[in-house]
Amino acid sequence: MDKLINDFSFGLFIWQIAIFVGLILLLKKFAWKPILDAVNDREEGIKNALLSAENARKEMQNLQADNQRILQEARLERDNMLKDAREMKEKMVADAKNEAQAQGLKMIEQAKAAIESEKNAAMAELKLQVSTLSLSIAEKILKDELSNKEAQTKLVEKMLGDVKLN
């Protein structure tokens, strides 16, 4: 202990305190603070990067889910549209068919009417022809069988009756 006290140098003690305190203050300002700040920043940066990567991953997942949903919706929409189109087509075809039928019927009616009128006209013509024919026949008969009056008359009546039946 005596040696310890004897060896104790106050000058060295004072120098040491002065230099060491100076060193602490200098290093604090120029080294430790920037170093620890930089290291902290770096650690924060790494932490943030990891967090943002995780977020990005989640977002990606969300996006993918969204995409899936949108795709699903689009598919549904397409199906609906296709279905609508098919229905419309069927309806149009049916309408067209109906109209065509109606038109056809109408035309048939018209044709029938035309045929009737033509037939009537032909009948009238025929009747005219028959009457002229019968007149000519009658003339001929009259010419041939004017002697036999009774038989002639009977014949005329019979012929006329035949003509009427026609």
Partner 1 sequence: MVISNKPLRFILATLVACLPLISFANPEQDTVKVKTEVAHEAAEGTHAEPTDVKSKIKAFINHHLLDAHDFTFLANEETGEHYGFSLPIILWDNGLQVFSSSKFHHGEETAEHNGNFYVLHHEKIYKTDASGTLTQEHGHPTNATPLDLSITKSVVGILGIAVLMFVLFTGLAKSYAKNGGIATGAGRFFEPLVLYVRDEIAIPNIGEKGYKKYMSYLLTIFFFIFFLNILGLTPLGFNVTGNIAITASLALLTYLITTFTANKNYWGHIFWMPGVPTPMKFILAPIELLGTIIKPFSLMIRLYANILAGHVVLMSIIGLMFIFKSWIGSTLSFGLAFALSILEILVAFLQAYIFTMLSALYFGAGNEEHHHEEAHH
Write out the residues near partner 1 by the rule CB under 8 A.
4, 6-17, 19-24, 26-28, 30-36, 38-39, 41-42, 45
Tokens of 1: 């202990």
In the block, tokens 């075809």 appear at 93
Shortest distance, position 65 Cβ to partner 1, whole Å = 36
Q: Which is nearer to partner 1, 37 or 90 (CB)?
A: 37
Q: Which is nearer to partner 1, 29 or 86 (CB)?
A: 29
Structure tokens of 131?
Answer: 């009457």
Q: Report in angstroms how near the CB of residue 55 gets to partner 1 at its nearest.
A: 22
Q: Minimal distance in Å, beta carbon 80 to partner 1?
A: 56
- Nearest 10 degrees: CA dihedral of 44, 45, 48, 50? -110
Pick 9 or 117: Cβ nearer partner 1: 9
Other Cβ atoms closer than 10 A to 138: 16
In angstroms, the CA 101 to CA 107 distance is 10
